[in-house]
Amino acid sequence: MRIAIVSDLHANLQAWNAVLTDIGSSRIDRILCLGDIVGYGPEPAKVLESVHRHVHAIVLGNHDAVVGGKMSPGSFNERARELILWTREQVGRSAHEFLGSLPLTLVGDGFRCTHGSFANPAAFDYIIEPHEALEAWQAVSEPLLFVGHSHQPGIHVLGSSGTPHHLAPQDFGLEAGKRYIVNVGSVGSPRDGDARASYVIYDTSSGSVVFRRIPFDLDAFRAAVVKVGLNPEHLPSLRRDPRQRLAPVREQLDFSPATTAAEEAQDVVEVGDAMQTLRRSATRWRWLATAALLLAVGGSLAAFAIAKSDRPRPLAIPAQPLDVNSSLVPLAAGGSLLPGLPDRVGEDGNVRPWRIVMSDSRWQSAAASADSFVLRGESQRQSLRLEAPAIRLDNETRKYVLRGEARRSADFEGHAALVIDILRPTADGSAEEWVENYESVEFRRAGADGWEVAQRTRDLPKSTRQMRIAVAGSFKGELTLRNLRLTPAGR
């Protein structure tokens, strides 16, 4: 069963409709909501009506509790209290009764849900620090717990060491002997610096949890906020509009049409005789056309020569993809199926045992040191790829853990990520085809000393014959890599 788990919609109809559309196209069997359907946002009645129609089970959030008459608004700060009291006036008695009837927790097969913390669900505590996660685990027995409330997606993991670890949001598969607390983030009011709506998909059959980020119409949401008389500056999702970070690439129009007679053009010919002008110009244009043709021929030859000299110079070393390795034989220490990063770049540009593919070798290069590898680019328009040998998959092992670390130079612009390519049969089964960039794993979790971490546990489709790992991107600046690893899950 595939379950969509949402939380903290906060009366944001535009975000909820965007998430609902994504859910509808993702083969979802059930929808669970972890509370705070209302509060903050401008359209509580419409969102509540839609949730009542589409969501299969709901837990009580603290905003819902106030509207449902189960909690005093005194614990809210002044701004939130004004908004929740305004919200209570926007919905009728049946909505008050419905929200007041919601349970504090939901229990499933091997998982449990609440809005805040399991230590005392009615208090709506947050789970942010490690000791708060431990208190939640001690209160219940299920290995997988889902929460919302903080509006910040992430994961707490407890293994055999007994020490909880916090991870940035990333897709993962459940592992025996480990316990998880998953904060699904917020649909309507994200607070992690990303304005997109957040939710997760839990697949009970494969034991996988996938995070989803969905953009929604910020302008329509802002208009709805203004329409009901609320202040857009009080809503985090509007304060973090990502478009504000985009620099203008063109100047705005510097001309405004005349609005008075004095501003209009003066002493001009109102109407000209088109045919007279055309007849007078015909002879002159024939002569000019001949001259223009001669100039065009010469100009084309010159332009061709210039363009030819400025064409991109793609380069792949070696030219063909590398030989296939068996997935049963680790190629590096620690059981990694990936070979160690190159410790040198050959005179011919090779980076064996890896393969490098440049879209323009004039502006791209690679360098190596004892413990890291550096990719350099001079333009965000050019792609660069460091590719490992393909790995032939056996029939038993389908779940792998991919991990790597990267550090960007101060002038880095563009993007780069770990990518997974897979080889699988074509739709008619007559051949096999490589699907490049089947999955992308971003370097985004902060590590030590400026290094960013990319990590993903991936359960590959049974039809996959081979897989290939690469670092791919289009960027200006330097990307330094280390500790790229691929290991079978559970080993």
pLDDT for 48 equals 96
Cβ-contact 10, 224 below 8 angstroms: no
Residues 168 and 55 in one domain: yes
The residue among 212, 238, 264 that closes a domain is: 238
Average pLDDT over the chain reads: 84
pLDDT for 317 equals 84
Residues 103 and 17 in one domain: yes
pLDDT for 270 equals 63
The residue among 195, 218, 238 that closes a domain is: 238
Q: How many CB atoms lie within 10 A of CB 198?
A: 28
Q: What is the pLDDT of residues 152-182, one digit of tens each?
A: 999 999 999 999 999 999 999 999 999 999 9
Q: Determine the structural domain holding residue 95 and report its residue range.
A: 2-238
Tell whether 404 is covered by a domain.
yes
User: Would you call the peptide bond into 248 cis, given omega within 30 degrees of 0 as the criterion?
Assistant: no
pLDDT for 114 equals 97
Q: Which is more confidently placed, 6 or 83? A: 6
Q: What is the pLDDT of residues 417-464, one digit of tens each?
A: 898 988 888 777 778 888 887 787 888 767 667 899 988 887 888 788
- Cα distances (angstroms) measured from residue 218 to each of 68, 221, 331, 484: 29, 5, 48, 38
Least confident of 114-128, 181-195, 300-314: 300-314
Residues 31 and 165 in one domain: yes
Q: Which is more confidently placed, 471 or 380? A: 471
Confidence of residue 285 (pLDDT cuts 50, 70, 90): very low
Tell whether 296 is covered by a domain.
no
Among candidate residues 130, 143, 142, 135, the one with its CA nearest the CA of residue 118: 135
Judged against a pLDDT cut of 90, whether residue 36 lies above it is answered with: yes
Confidence of residue 306 (pLDDT cuts 50, 70, 90): very low
Q: What percent of the chain has pLDDT over 90?
A: 48
Residues 232 and 353 in one domain: no
Judged against a pLDDT cut of 90, whether residue 299 lies above it is answered with: no
- Across residues 84-94, what is the average pLDDT? 92
Judged against a pLDDT cut of 50, whether residue 140 lies above it is answered with: yes
Residues 216 and 359 in one domain: no
Residues 232 and 336 in one domain: no
- Tally the C-alpha atoms within 13 A of residue 218's C-alpha that lie toward its C-beta: 20
Q: What span, in angstroms and rounded, lies between the C-alpha atoms of 168 and 163?
A: 17
Could you tell me the CATH number of the domain that includes residue 421? 2.60.120.260
Confidence of residue 75 (pLDDT cuts 50, 70, 90): confident
Judged against a pLDDT cut of 90, whether residue 259 lies above it is answered with: no
Residues 322 and 426 in one domain: yes
Cβ-contact 412, 479 below 8 angstroms: yes
pLDDT for 304 equals 45
Q: What span, in angstroms and rounded, lies between the C-alpha atoms of 70 and 122?
A: 10
Residues 219 and 348 in one domain: no
Judged against a pLDDT cut of 60, whether residue 288 lies above it is answered with: no
pLDDT for 269 equals 63
Cβ-contact 70, 60 below 8 angstroms: yes
- Across residues 42-56, what is the average pLDDT? 95
Q: Is 34 helix (H, G, I), strand (E, B) or coil?
A: coil
Judged against a pLDDT cut of 90, whether residue 345 lies above it is answered with: no
Residues 223 and 366 in one domain: no
Q: What percent of the chain has pLDDT over 70?
A: 83
pLDDT for 134 equals 96
Could you tell me the CATH number of the domain that includes residue 69? 3.60.21.10
The residue among 238, 266, 298 that closes a domain is: 238
Tell whether 88 is covered by a domain.
yes
Residues 319 and 199 in one domain: no
Q: Is 28 helix (H, G, I), strand (E, B) or coil?
A: coil
- Cα distances (angstroms) measured from residue 297 to each of 288, 300, 301, 304: 14, 5, 6, 11
Count structural domains, the chain.
2
pLDDT for 307 equals 42
Confidence of residue 101 (pLDDT cuts 50, 70, 90): very high
Residues 229 and 327 in one domain: no
Judged against a pLDDT cut of 50, whether residue 209 lies above it is answered with: yes
Judged against a pLDDT cut of 90, whether residue 261 lies above it is answered with: no
pLDDT for 289 equals 52
Residues 187 and 83 in one domain: yes
What pTM does this model have?
0.54
- Across residues 3-27, what is the average pLDDT? 95
Q: Between β-strands 172-173 and 208-214, what pairing exists: parallel, antiparallel or unpaired?
A: antiparallel
- Across residues 201-205, what is the average pLDDT? 95
Cβ-contact 139, 121 below 8 angstroms: no
Least confident of 42-46, 84-88, 344-348: 344-348
pLDDT for 332 equals 61
What own/partner pairs with CB < 8 Å and gap ≥ 24 does 158-164 have? 158/133, 158/134, 163/130, 164/130, 164/133, 164/134, 164/137
- Tally the C-alpha atoms within 13 A of residue 368's C-alpha that lie toward its C-beta: 17
